Homo-oligomer: A and B are copies of this chain.
């Protein structure tokens, strides 16, 4: 675990990845995995480019981080910073990966599974419960999504 400290610089790094996704026409979500104050995994939404609807930012960041925590099989003791609240698939993966803390930028009122429409991450039946920290740079994280969808709508209207 990385103590109680929340480092906005890591969310800024996740935001940078989200903006890279937007530049490639992907829904802008970014994520980093942090272990002992160091980024060990990065991911940005890549569903369109890969043709894989499961290629979510936090899922890819966790896969990227696997094997990089000394002496453990999973992501025990890691923080996951993600610009948008994880969906059920990603929240389930977070539990399997044994992530210590999930630090979330913007809430997802449509499919968020860390409290918004479901709560997979903190479900009492599951055998691991990451700590959930909400609303870290929520305006910036939600803002990149809002501008992306606004641009998409404008582009649609011009067609």
Contact = CB atoms under 8 A, between A and B. Distances in A.
Interface of A: 51-54, 59, 62-63, 66-67, 73-74, 87-93, 95-98, 110-111, 113, 117-118, 120, 123, 125-126
Nearest to A120: B88
Contact of A120 (B59, B63, B120): B120
B96 A113 contact: no
A88 B54 CA distance: 13
A52 to B, nearest CB: 6
| Copies of this protein chain in the complex | 2
Contacts of A120: 88, 92, 113, 118, 120
Given A52-B63, A73-B53, A111-B126, A92 B96 contact: no
Contact of A113 (B54, B73, B92, B110): B92
Contact of A96 (B54, B96, B97): B54
A6 to B, nearest CB: 25
Contact of A123 (B59, B63, B97, B117): B117
The 4 A-B pairs at the shortest CB distance, nearest first, are namely: A89-B92, A88-B92, A117-B125, A53-B96
A101 B123 CA distance: 25
A51 B67 contact: yes
B87 A53 contact: no
Contacts of A51: 66-67, 73
A119 to B, nearest CB: 9
Nearest to A48: B73
A74 B51 CA distance: 8
